[in-house]
Structure 1
Amino acid sequence: MKRAVAGGAIALALAVLCTPVLAEDLDFVLTNNSSFAVKSFFTSPADVDTWEEDVFGENYLPAGNYVTVTIGDGREQCTYDMKFIMEDDSEFIEKGVDLCELGEYTLSDAQ
């Protein structure tokens, strides 16, 4: 009886160790300290040459506000490029931001 329990515990431990690790969502706080609202916000892993879908969709981020952004793309990646389209249709691109390390990003007019 003890051997069956021990064998079952070993099998369970091996099953847990052999299960693939699922990528977690990446959450960070995006603060808009610029003079304009952000009407569109795109991200892309730094090693990818195309932009993902607009994170905001129908929404926007007014000047002086912040929002928690979740990137749920299934990748185990921390470094992203970001593209902001402002309400005056100007664009700003920030490349190679390590969002895991920072946990936040602040957009300002000085950029």
Structure 2
Amino acid sequence: MRLIALALILLPTAALADLRKFTLVNHTAVNMTELYASPTVADSWEEDILNGEDLTPMGIQTFTIKDGRDHCAYDIRAVFADEEVLLDTVDVCHAEVLEMLEEDEGEDPQEKGDIPVGQAL
């Protein structure tokens, strides 16, 4: 089983909470087919923000969250063509770049929350 991790590059200031904008980089060898970003307080996933367009390996796309909410903590669900799924929680008010990274197959699977987030790259 292929493992995928999420790494973040964070903005240095909290004054940018209204900018809820992030760039996603697919550093895997597989197309990302779906991407969901829902506030942690939501009971279900919002719509697929890739809108049916795959994010190819090494693909880059910028997203702006304009849902009328004031939340910064969003659950992220990325689905890949090989049916791998990555789940994590991201502070979209401070995240500048989200990078999907492949890890060695020999590593143990990680639970949500154990993925190395907030790591400067």
**Structure 2 counterpart of 1:92, one-letter code:** L
Residue pair 2:39, 2:71 contacting (<8 A) in 1 also: yes
- Distance in 2, matches of 1:61 and 1:49, equals 26
- Distance in 1, matches of 2:68 and 2:48, equals 17
Q: Deviations over 1:48-69 (max 9, x none)?
A: 2210000011211001111101
Say which structure is richer in helix: 1
- Unaligned ranges ≥5, structure 2: 1-16, 104-114, 116-121
- Out of 47, 50, 55, which is 2:49 matched to? 55
**Structure 1 counterpart of 2:34, one-letter code:** S
Counterpart mapping for 1:94-109 below 5 A: 94-95=88-89, 97-109=90-102
Residue pair 1:85, 1:92 contacting (<8 A) in 2 also: yes
Counterpart mapping for 1:10-21 below 5 A: none
**Structure 1 counterpart of 2:94, one-letter code:** E
- Distance in 1, matches of 2:19 and 2:82, equals 31
**Normalising to structure 2: TM-score of the pair?**
0.66
What residue number does 1:9 align with? none
Shift of 1:108: 0.9
**Normalising to structure 1: TM-score of the pair?**
0.71
**Structure 2 counterpart of 1:68, one-letter code:** T
| Seq. identity, % | 28
**Could you list the runs of 4 or more consecutive aligned residues of structure 1 that deviate by over 3 angstroms after TM superposition?**
none
What residue number does 2:34 align with? 40
Say which structure is richer in strand: 2
What residue number does 1:73 align with? 67
Tell me how many residue pairs correspond in the alignment.
88
Q: Deviations over 1:9-40 (max 9, x none)?
A: xxxxxxxxxxxxxx956211011111211000
- Distance in 2, matches of 1:65 and 1:27, equals 17
- Unaligned ranges ≥5, structure 1: 1-22
